Chain A
Amino acid sequence: MGMMRRFFLIAACGLGGIVCTHAASADDEAAARSERWAELQRAIFPGRTISDGAGVIQLEAPPRALDAALVPFTIKLPSDKQIKSVFLVIDNNPGPLAGHFTFGAAADPRTLKVRMRVNTYTDVHAVAEDSAGKLYAVQKFVKASGGCSAPAGSNDEESARNLGRMKLKLVSDFAPGEPVQAQLMIRHPNFNGMQMDQLTRLYAPAHFIRTINITYDDQPVLRIESDIALSTDPVITFGFKPPRQGQLKVEVTDSKEQSFVREFSVPAATASSTL
């Protein structure tokens, strides 16, 4: 949490601004991109070494964002290495550290799916942190979406109206003691605020999710620290290991200090929560 805030502030104060990814030549472009990542490593992971993550962590991303407001990413951890947490960095976003995902004792961290806003052409880095604190990174290049797509969705009244509503779906079969995949959906505008318009004086303050904390029968599963990079109405697919039937509990806190808590009975978890 502290780290997310601190880093967001640094980025907002213009840590080199957004590096131009449309540089004049492919060489310049590649140089600008690796320069940007070097800069981000120093800011996000000061004094730490990052090794090549091949074999430790995989990042799946579309080569071109179809929708700037909603780009699906899948993070896979195929190895036996004990991975404590994963950082997702969208290098050229206004707030590059898009999310920090910390796995708990009841987690099955092998597959994690999230949806993020992607503002422009950018490298995206997934960084795994093992239990000894060593870091492993992989990267993907994502082309910006074209046309009328924008990082701010066009229909966010519905999320505001249903603020805090959640749905949980099991996407694989439940068996006690076996890992299971679940999809969590949260109604939240996750809104980055608007600039004051001189003519209309319209302005809306930012309103976004800071943390999502998921437990199963009080055992930690997943903790997410994020900010405006998370899409409107975030949807997160994650794995956990339920030793028996029980209660999956989700706590969400946002930038207005609101919190939303929902509990779902597992496996009977397909119904949506009521407010």
Chain B
Amino acid sequence: MRGLSLISRRHAVLGGFCLCCAPGLSRGADERNFFETTEIARGIHIRRGVDEIASVQNEGAIANIGFIVGQDSVAVLDSGGSLNDGERLRRSIMNLTDLPIRYVLMSHVHPDHIFGAGAFLQDKPAFVAHAQLPHALAQRGEYYRERLEEVLGRGNVGPIVQPTMLVSDRMQIELGGRSLELRAHPVAHTSSDLSVADSQTGTLFPSDLLFVGRAPSLDGSLKGWLRELSKLGSIHAKQQAVPGHGPASVNFASAASKLKQYLETLLRETRQAIANGVDIATAPETVAQSERKNWTLFDEYHGHNVTQAYKELEWE
């Protein structure tokens, strides 16, 4: 591994193009098993992502991903953070069932949730996403691919897969004996959030509309996210949910209350900073610092969130 990466680095330098050198590139993926899935409810298998930023060591396996097995077919939700991540998910499906993979759901535009999709092209499933995802991918897909390539190395990222079935409001898909209710949300965590509810077990898949323990990332609308969170709460409060990041399975209402507290603190204190004339460069140092203790990776995401909140709220 070490020898190979030295050669490729040398080749990259000689070839005059960029092979990036995130710390630790000379080492490959570490020995941790990123592919333990847990059956959190009947026929629902979830791989918990690690609470880290994407790196060579974790191969982008940072989001909760998994699959749902019906009597006739399998749906993947989400596909993972890299081609490798998606391939491992595909192998664990193959080990468990011979049923065809008919659907690969793409919960939103972020790279840790969709770059595994390339591993499933050979199964010719429907790639299902929010109607805004093609637009978001056209704007950002290539940028994400390049940046992830800098971290994971050339060839390890996988292609940008476009959705082939779009949801603009609601849609139902059948897996045999169970159906999945898909809901396309207005701008919230991102502009392309898709949530899924399983009819058989009542399990909700809010994806990144719900973060548990790991710092949330705001990339759409703060006010919109609070609205969608409360909408989901009014329908699914008592149900089991699979957050986009955090434990593989939680009770929706209690997990959502902590996220709501973070988002409301962010809203209140960013408005206050704007009113006090604190500028956008310094607001991240002062806003919602009381939340630091509640979230891992707080320093990696919170400053970005304050910037996002500020630019949304300064027009009020």
Contacts and interface: CB of A to CB of B under 8 A. Distances in A.
Contacts, number: 110
Nearest to B282: A72
B280 A72 contact: yes
Given A194-B139, A200-B134, A202-B134, A146 B300 contact: yes
B137 A22 contact: no
A22 B22 contact: yes
A185 B277 CA distance: 14
A152 B140 contact: yes
B190 A154 contact: yes
Interface in B108-131: 109-112
B99 interface: no
A150 B140 contact: yes
Contact of B138 (A22, A120, A145, A197): A197
A154 B150 contact: no
B53 A148 contact: no
Nearest to B284: A66
A171 B274 CA distance: 11
- Sort chain B's interface into a size bin: 35 or more
A275 interface: no
Interface stretch (B31-39, B228-236, B262-270, B304-312): B304-312
Quick one: which of B147, B221, B277, B303 has the most chain A CB within 10 A? B147
A245 B301 CA distance: 44
A235 interface: yes
B280 A70 contact: yes
A49 interface: no
B309 to A, nearest CB: 11
B170 interface: no
Contacts of A235: 280, 314
A151 interface: yes
B140 to A, nearest CB: 4
Given A147-B301, A171-B277, A155 B137 contact: no
B280 A150 contact: no
B143 A150 contact: yes
A273 to B, nearest CB: 13
B143 A145 contact: no
A23 B144 CA distance: 20
B204 to A, nearest CB: 22
Interface string A53-90: 00000001010001100101010000000000000000
B53 A147 contact: yes
A140 to B, nearest CB: 13
A271 to B, nearest CB: 13
B137 A197 contact: yes
A194 B315 contact: no
Interface in A108-155: 113, 115, 119-120, 144-152, 154-155
B138 A194 contact: yes
B279 interface: yes
B248 to A, nearest CB: 21
Main SS of the interface on chain A? Answer: loop
Contacts of B314: 185, 235
Contact of B162 (A154, A157, A200, A233): A200
Nearest to A151: B143
A154 B311 CA distance: 12
A13 interface: no
Contacts of B273: none
B304 A149 contact: yes
Interface string B278-305: 0111001000000000000000110110
B282 to A, nearest CB: 9
A202 B221 contact: no
Given A146-B53, A148-B219, A20 B17 contact: yes
A207 interface: no
Nearest to B10: A24
A154 B136 contact: yes
B217 A147 contact: yes
A195 interface: yes
A24 B315 contact: no
Contacts of A23: 13, 21
Interface string A148-182: 11111011010000000001000100000000000
B20 A154 contact: no
B191 A154 contact: yes
20 contacts: A20-B20, A62-B281, A66-B307, A72-B279, A72-B280, A113-B279, A146-B300, A147-B300, A147-B301, A147-B304, A148-B190, A150-B144, A154-B136, A154-B190, A171-B277, A197-B134, A199-B162, A200-B134, A203-B138, A233-B311
Query: Sorted from nearest, which 10 A-B pairs have the closest CB atoms?
Result: A20-B18, A22-B20, A66-B303, A72-B281, A152-B139, A199-B162, A194-B138, A150-B140, A67-B307, A148-B110
Given A66-B306, A144-B147, 5 more contacts: A60-B281, A147-B304, A185-B315, A194-B138, A200-B138
